[in-house]
Structure 1
Amino acid sequence: MKKHIKNLIVSSLVIAGLSTTVHSAENYPENPVRIIVPYSAGGGSDSVSRALAEALKPKFPKGIAVENRTGGAGSVGMSYGMHAKPNGGTITMVVPELVMLPHFGNGGDIDYKKFKHLAIVNSGYAAITVPADSPYKTLDSLLKDANDKDLLFGNSGTGSIWHIAGVGMEKAANVEFNHIPFKGSSAAITSLLGKHLDAVSVSYAEVASQVDAGLLRTLAVLAPHRLSGAPDVPTAKELGYDVAIGTWRGYSVPVDTPDYIVNYLTDAILEAAKSDAFKTFMAVSNNDVDIIGPEEFEKKIQREDKIYAELISGL
């Protein structure tokens, strides 16, 4: 009899545990969700994430919002998201810096293996941009003065993809820039608009509105082909400089996040990225939609970890 009662108690506990798990899966998300963006408000990463959050709202009835946590060329925000509770309450926007910064030795504790990677929604390439009234009308004229005039070249932070793009440009042209780091692209662009810099290396999408307004001028894009949103802007390769460097923007959660939450978030992001509202925003803002699911996302990160290890070791 005692053994029978014991078995009944154990069975009840197992059933209760299973019931709790099913209940949690059915009710996620039962709390507000936030997307951590590791760069400042107003930049490309921020604007893409806010557009995605807007498209995700139907899947998150308790609310979903962007939270900016800046510093360390993105490492501060990515580390914060990496250490968040693995309950689906925090999604982190991750970028190539996730695998680049550790090879610089200034990435803090960020580690791509401590995330489960959901999906990539966007990619883009660097654009070499100057003030509209700059004396530099072409990329060649800018590069010609680079060594003699100690040109101030802004980027989104030391070790960031746009810093690497600037380094790639100077190496391809055999010149040297005075690299000036900022806490995100928007801060660098603001400084350029204030005539405190000679040029910046950020994505074309981040300067497109100021270019259209006649405030800035893009001299070249570091892309394998001309951009659809800027067909009149030459590539560096066209001009004789063999360099093409860009970024991607994806979303990840802490590695211990349960699979049912990971699956829910992945499906929601992939659906949102294909929505008309998101695609319209991306087109208007000169951002390219580039959708990559979790398996290829993981493989891409592993490949780039090896690529940047080799590239950065040579700096």
Structure 2
Amino acid sequence: MTLPAEAEHLPRRAFFFPHALQPGRGAGTPPGRVPFDVDATLVSLTEVKTDHAIVFADGYGQNVVGSNQDPCVLSAPFGPLHSFCRINKRARNHYVRESSGRHDRLLSHCVATGDVIIYGKYDPKGGRGPTTQVWVDTVLVVDEVLPWATTRRTSRSPCNNRGHCRARRYLIGDPTTVAGRGLENSDAYRYNLSDATSAGIHCCTNLEHYRVIVGRTQPTSSALADLSTSFVPRATRIAPATVTALDVGKMVWDDLQGMIDGLIRPVPNGPKGGWIVEFPRFATAKALCEAIIQKSGGLVAVPPLRPRGQVRRWDPATGRMES
């Protein structure tokens, strides 16, 4: 599948979505990026094959997910899904800093087909640079943005998530209506969408118009070269794929450093983990992806990724491991 003809004539945009590397510990703490053992379609600029890989993805420990994985790369039968993280409520700290100067929209209301979302973070951590390296765990090329029906909460429509519901204005609709009827046992439902059931952590929202971002997958060398497929870099068991100034040209690194240190890093009254920011130049995002592919040994995994063995689940509400 290629990008729709109408999308090919629109300027493509790219966004950097910062996310912590180390997961929290204990009840109520956020996830990080952790290693997962998967079977995957591996693609390089010259070959396509199926093999085992280690990737970093959203979770709490090796092969351990939380109440959901977001973005979800264990997403069969779909490409990667972004359903909840920082797109499930109106909040200035979660709005995207767009190159146009706009700062009033959630990521799910900004992106269009063909746009690219790069998930990762930078070192050193915190609010001060200069940035010395950038790591990336997922590259999502937007296929479509799906509406997710909501209904206004009434006194007769409570949630059932063990007292952790925040009683927001709207209940999120049946998760199988997003995944497709009859897919309740799919990986996409199991590891992501099911968190919007009445018993889930994301049972309700203050957004009347809720949207889910679905990634495009095309496991071919030409799609990888054109950055028209989502992918997950291969990694070691201790670190995701990382680039430094030595891996890209000076112009690209200057652009990355300027964007991260000037726009993404936390500022007073800003988000603790950093702002979601649009790349000022799409070419910089493409160059970063090309460098990440090289640091991944030239071979990356195209979702959906399939767990290799058991995936355990950590309940962030209780701070306990579930079966």
When normalised by structure 2's length, the TM-score is: 0.25
Q: Comparing both structures, which one devotes a greater share of its residues to strand?
A: 2
Q: Comparing both structures, which one devotes a greater share of its residues to helix?
A: 1
Larger of the two Rg values belongs to structure:
1
**Does 1 or 2 have the higher relative contact order (CA < 8 Å, sep 6+)?**
2
When normalised by structure 1's length, the TM-score is: 0.25
